[in-house]
Amino acid sequence: MNHTPNVQRPTPKTFASGQLNAEVSAESAQPSLKYRSLKVFCWLLALVAAGIFIYAGAIKMLDPVQFAHDVKNFQILPWPISVALAFYLPWLEIFCGFGLIFRFFSRGAISILTVLIVVFTLATAAAKVRGLDITCGCFGHASQHWSFPAHLATNLGILAALLALWFSNRLARQM
């Protein structure tokens, strides 16, 4: 009575195919682990980059008058444009920062932030070349006494993080 007619005994063929399935799932687990670690890496990188821009944006947003003077001191733009940028740039940094964290238009956010950091770096280098006595307003008063190499190192570090984020995001999408 122990006989169960509907249960098929594993034939050599079905056994072999079961083994094959196990191998396939083991193989497919490999890329998913890679994918997950890449995702975690992207997220951590995005969090750090976003934190920097949200902090920098918030500090400048709280004191747009000081930031307008910081922009003017680069002697690149006329005063009315410096004022307009002093009101606009901090919010752009904040929105892009949150875009990175919450994956809301993150590709757009990365590209805007990359352009911004490149422009900031070029403006700082141009000011140095022209021998201007300027205080960078990048992080409000926190960055007031930064030396030129410190500025450059920070900006290049942020740029590297943004580029790593861009390429790791692309890689994650391809996997």
Partner 1 sequence: MKLSLTRQALVLAALSLLPAVGEAIYFRGKISWQSPIPLSEMVSVDQARAWGEDVIWVDARPDADFGRDHVPGALSLNEDRWNQLLPQFLAAWSPGKKVVVYCSAESCDLAREAAERLRKEAQVPDVFVLNGGWEAWVKKNR
Considering the complex, state which of residue 26 and residue 65 has its C-beta at the smaller distance from partner 1.
65
Q: What is the CA radius of gyration of the chain?
A: 26
How many other C-beta atoms lie within 10 A of the C-beta of residue 93? 25
The answer to whether 161 touches 20, Cβ cutoff 8 Å, is no
The answer to whether 50 touches 101, Cβ cutoff 8 Å, is yes
Residue 34: CB minimum distance to partner 1, A: 24
Residue 84: CB minimum distance to partner 1, A: 8
**Phi-psi label, residue 75: left if phi above 0, alpha if psi -120 to 50, beta otherwise:** left
Residue ranges that bind partner 1, judged by CB under 8 A: 61, 64-65, 68-70, 72-73, 75, 79-80, 82-84, 87-88, 90-92, 94-96, 99, 105-109, 111-112, 132-135
Considering the complex, state which of residue 16 and residue 84 has its C-beta at the smaller distance from partner 1.
84
Residue 134: CB minimum distance to partner 1, A: 6
Considering the complex, state which of residue 80 and residue 149 has its C-beta at the smaller distance from partner 1.
80
Residue 95: CB minimum distance to partner 1, A: 5
Nearest-angstrom CA–CA distance, 155 and 136: 12
Considering the complex, state which of residue 15 and residue 79 has its C-beta at the smaller distance from partner 1.
79
Beta strands in the chain (DSSP E): none
